[in-house]
Amino acid sequence: MKAGHLAASAALALVAASAASAQSKELTLCWAAWDPANALVELSKDFEAQSGIKMKFEFVPWPNFADRMLNELNSGGQLCDLLIGDSQWIGGSAENGHYVKLNDFFDKEGISMDDFAPATVYAYSTWPKGEPNYYALPAMGDANGWFYRKDWFARPEIQAAFKEKYGRDLAEPKTQKELLEIAQFFQGREIDGQTVYGASIFTERGSEGITMGATGALYAWGFKYENTPGKYDMEGAVNSPAAVEGLEFYKELYKTATPPGYDNAYMEQSLDAFKSGQVAMAMNWFAFFPGLYADPNVGGDKIDFFVNPAQNVAASTLGGQGISVVSYTDNMDGALAYIKWFAQPEVQKKWWSMGGYSCHKAVLEDPGFKDSAPFAGDFLEAMNGVQDFWQEPAYASLLLAMQDRLHNYIVADQGTAQEALDGLIADWTEVFQDEGKL
């Protein structure tokens, strides 16, 4: 009987050991489900070949990405060994111990943050902001940009009609107000027997859409979160006259130059509107631009790209993410090995060539970079002026408050821009008081 017990225990131990070994030979990387994620799957095959570690991927659609991943982190889940999380999550994930601090690892492996574009290191890696405490490696640079139907813009009859109306040539807008004029010009126009509209912009309410869209205008007008960085003194910054004007502008753009029923639209809807030939211009993240350029119907010669136009300030809304090691991983060595592999300049170059937006200077400062894609120059320009939402641990509460205030004003027509921004300060003040920061 004892011999039987012993044999059973030995078999169990063997099974457990082989399971653990199999686990250490696997890594799960979590990210949003979009074009760059598919490119990363391809890129990671090189890592698999070199390391012998099998890569698994968990990609979640954008509308559910934050919910799903933050729940995973907050519950200490072991689904993800590596996470390419949004820039705004870094404060909470660092303070709550979800991400591994990578400074010692970077020192040991000779990975220098000086090799990456400073704006991306600041936005994707550091907490507290600007301090040399790194919780992620910049993985995917991104900003909100614009694209338009170059073929429509080039048509002589459209050019003539535009010049007659506005007294200037129809071209890529240099300011937000020019953008509005162009969008209004196209709104309801007949092109090839189809009614088309001005622009598809972000108006989504549930996650972050309308905030990411409207801040494109707000930043361009000079909106700031605080008067003094780190002091949470929002009065006069968040609701400055320039910010009010920027918000009124975005509402006008929505009301006068977007397709009908465009009241809850984000990335997917913007892409759909453009690809179906409904709109002359659209905003979206640079991450989608390679796919758009390759689109057989609206890509190639028919499309061109431009950076978010300035008004008072040249500024773009930051997107993009860093790659972090999740503290709850049971394959820490494997996860760190992936980071080490991913940080190599050669891998970063391949990443860019496959559709990922590298943040490595070896890629961005390459003399041929600007001409490597029709949107590469715009990407560089945008990344030089990016501004991001709060990255505080309470970012979700701050974001939801802004989503509510903006959607109520812009889409649901409630109150004025001044009231929306004043209310936003009240909401944010309450959040910071709860957090003990005010």
Of the pair 315, 406, the CB lying nearest another protein is at 406
* Cβ nearer to another protein, comparing 67 with 365: 67
Cα–Cα distance, 137 to 346 (Å, whole number): 16
HEC-encoded secondary structure of the chain: CHHHHHHHHHHHHHHHHHHHHHHHCEEEEEEECCHHHHHHHHHHHHHHHHHCCEEEEEEECHHHHHHHHHHHHHCCCCCCCEEEEEHHHHHHHHHCCCECCCHHHHHHHCCCHHHECHHHHHHHCECCCCCCCECCEEEECCEEEEEEEHHHHCCHHHHHHHHHHHCCCCCCCCEHHHHHHHHHHHCCEEECCEEEEEEECCCCCCCCHHHHHHHHHHHHHCCCCCCCCCCCCCCCCCCCHHHHHHHHHHHHHHHHHCCCCCCCCCHHHHHHHHHCCCEEEEEEEHHHHHHHHCCCCCCHHHEEEECCCECCCCCEEECCEEEEEECCCCCHHHHHHHHHHHCCHHHHHHHHHCCCCCCEHHHHCCCCCCCCCCCHHHHHHHHCCEECCCCCCCHHHHHHHHHHHHHHHHCCCCCCHHHHHHHHHHHHHHHHHHCCCC
DSSP 148: E
Nearer to another protein, 400 or 425 (CB): 400
User: Closest separation between CB of residue 128 and another protein, Å?
Assistant: 17
Query: Quick one: 260 or 368, whose CB is closer to another protein?
Result: 260
d(CA 251, CA 407): 10
Pick 233 or 427: Cβ nearer another protein = 427
Q: How far is the CB of 30 from another protein (least distance, A)?
A: 17
Which H helix or E strand runs over 387? Answer: strand 386-387
* Shortest Å distance, C-beta 88 to another protein: 13
Closer CB to another protein, residue 70 or residue 364?
Answer: 70
Smallest separation (angstroms) from another protein to the CB of 95:
8
The rounded distance, in Å, linking the Cα atoms of 405 and 424 is 6
To the nearest whole angstrom, how small is the minimum distance from the Cβ of residue 409 to another protein? 8
| 46/351 Cα distance (integer angstroms) | 11
Which spans of this chain sit near another protein (rule: CB under 8 A)? 67, 70-71, 73-74, 76, 92, 95-97, 205-206, 259-261, 263-264, 393-394, 396-397, 400, 404, 407-409, 411-414, 434
Minimum distance from residue 190 beta carbon to another protein (Å): 14
Identify which of residues 97 and 118 has a Cβ nearer to another protein in the complex: 97
The distance of closest approach from Cβ of residue 67 to another protein in the complex, given in angstroms and rounded to an integer, is: 7
Closer residue to another protein (CB): 359 or 399: 399
Q: Which is nearer to another protein, 97 or 132 (CB)?
A: 97
Burial of 204 (0-12, 13-18, 19+ CB in 10 A): buried
Beta carbon of residue 357, minimum distance to another protein (angstroms, whole number): 28
The nearest distance, CB 392 to another protein, in angstroms, is 12
| Smallest distance from another protein to CB 405, Å | 9
Q: Minimum CB separation from another protein for residue 259, in Å?
A: 7
The one-letter code for the residue type at 156 is P
- CB nearer to another protein: pick between 42 and 67: 67
Q: Which is nearer to another protein, 169 or 413 (CB)?
A: 413
